[in-house]
Amino acid sequence: MSARRYRIQRLRPSDYDELLSVWKRAGLPARPRGRDSRPEMARQVGLGTSIYLKAVLREDGRERMVAVVLGTHDGRKGWINRLAVLPGHRRRGLGTLLVRELERRFRRLGPDIVCGLVETYNQESMAFFAKMGYVRHEDIIYYSKRRSERT
């Protein structure tokens, strides 16, 4: 099955339960009592700085989410924060399709740089971004400051 069989749509607050299911089945951690809570995700989806997309497959008269990407921008850079594809739908071009669509939407908003954030253990994602032409930077260290442990 090729990527053409899938449709890209904006993520909606009503997609919350299915989003968490995709993350879990794809092996991504979630913080449903913190930054990934239902109210927080609804708030994020509505921000003008967020481009949250899903890939859906229509089967048996209903649409099912099979991949998702969360993108944000600060006016200078576009950030690919979370990309997840269900294991049974990998290697069909869905990750590429979602990232290319996100890049296209970022271009319309002005950022000249798009960055992918990848956890150091995730070799598969690193290979994916390298294949798409992203350059790995060994000279950058990520710092964060959180309001709580749940964030």
Percentage helix, strand, coil, to 5, in the chain? 35, 25, 40
**Average pLDDT rounded to a whole number, residues 59-83:** 92
pLDDT over 70 at 57, yes or no = yes
**Average pLDDT rounded to a whole number, residues 87-101:** 95
pLDDT over 50 at 1, yes or no = no
Average pLDDT, whole number, for the chain?
91
The fraction of the chain above a pLDDT of 90, given in percent, is 68
Report the C-alpha gap between 81 and 15 in whole angstroms. 18
Q: Where are the domains of the chain?
A: 3-131
pLDDT over 50 at 109, yes or no = yes
Query: Which pLDDT band, with edges at 50, 70 and 90, does 151 fall under?
Result: low
* Amino acid (1-letter code) at residue 65: M
* Amino acid (1-letter code) at residue 99: V
Report the C-alpha gap between 80 and 145 in whole angstroms. 19
pLDDT at 59: 81
Helix, strand or coil for residue 84? strand
| CATH number 3.40.50.150 is the correct assignment for the domain at 3-131 | no
